[in-house]
Amino acid sequence: MSDGRQFGLKTPGLRMAPSLLAADFSQLREQVAMVEAGGADLLHLDVMDGHFVPNISFGPGVIEAIRPHSKLFFDAHLMIEEPARYAEAFVKAGCDHVTFHIEVTDEPAKVIDTIRGLGASVGICINPTTPVSAIESVLDAVDMVLVMSVWPGFGGQEFIADVLEKVSELSDRLTPAQRLEIDGGIGPATIGLAAGAGADTMVAGSAIFGENDPVAAMEALRLAATEAIASHGNG
């Protein structure tokens, strides 16, 4: 992983992670360049297999094709069964980080070792109704926890506010070197809630790429989150 693509460990602060799922797939290179020039901190890559989630998005080939055109940190969110089996293909394609779902495995420690062994940082994700206790045994072993604030599979869904309780709990428990990412339904009306609860890495698809001016939309979201942190604190 090059310096320009470091995860920013130990660097506190908010990170904006536009989700490529909501981009115009006919011009991925241009869409990535636009949010990169506009100050995106990570590029969130939603990989769906049609099994774990009822939708299919894109795989390593697409990621490999955009990799040479961007210096952004590539944050892969694998919504797939058998993440350990496919992790190598995603890291080889240029992913700096790989997040997998706890719901697909009884052996998360092994999946974490596999991903880390490939040289990527590791995240673990919990669905809206999966409790924090499900990832208890590996909480110390990951670089990031991703809390789903919609059911994974599709962009443009409504934010599930019940997950904020888990965000607060995780925010209290994670170390400053660990990121707390939230994904789904993040927009002008919800990003402040997520930031106030302690999320530091904000995934947004439709609220960025679905807007006429994605860069202005991203900056407005960043500002709303920053203001929420300033007025409520984020733990």
By a kind-dependent CB cut-off of 5 to 8 A, residue 226 interacts, out of ligand DX5, Zn ion, none, with: none
Binding site for ligand DX5 (CB under 6 A): 19, 21-22, 44, 46, 77, 79, 150, 152-157, 183-186, 203-207
CB of 17 to ligand DX5, least distance (A): 8
By a kind-dependent CB cut-off of 5 to 8 A, residue 205 interacts, out of Zn ion, ligand DX5, none, with: ligand DX5
CB of 188 to ligand DX5, least distance (A): 12
Binding site for Zn ion (CB under 5 A): 46, 77, 183
CB of 115 to ligand DX5, least distance (A): 18
- Helices and strands: H and E segment counts in the chain: 8, 8
| Nearest C-alpha neighbor of 191 from the set 73, 17, 43 | 17
CA distance 194 to 199: 6
How many Cβ atoms from other residues are within 10 Å of residue 98's Cβ?
31
Give yes or no: 46 in active site: yes
By a kind-dependent CB cut-off of 5 to 8 A, residue 156 interacts, out of ligand DX5, Zn ion, none, with: ligand DX5
Residue whose beta carbon is closest to Zn ion = 77
In sequence order, what are the residues at sequence separation of 6 or more whose Cβ sits closer than 8 angstroms to the Cβ of residue 107?
none
Measured CA to CA in angstroms, residue 165 lies from 171, 173, 226 at distances of 10, 13, 20
Which pair of tokens denotes residue 209? 């790429």
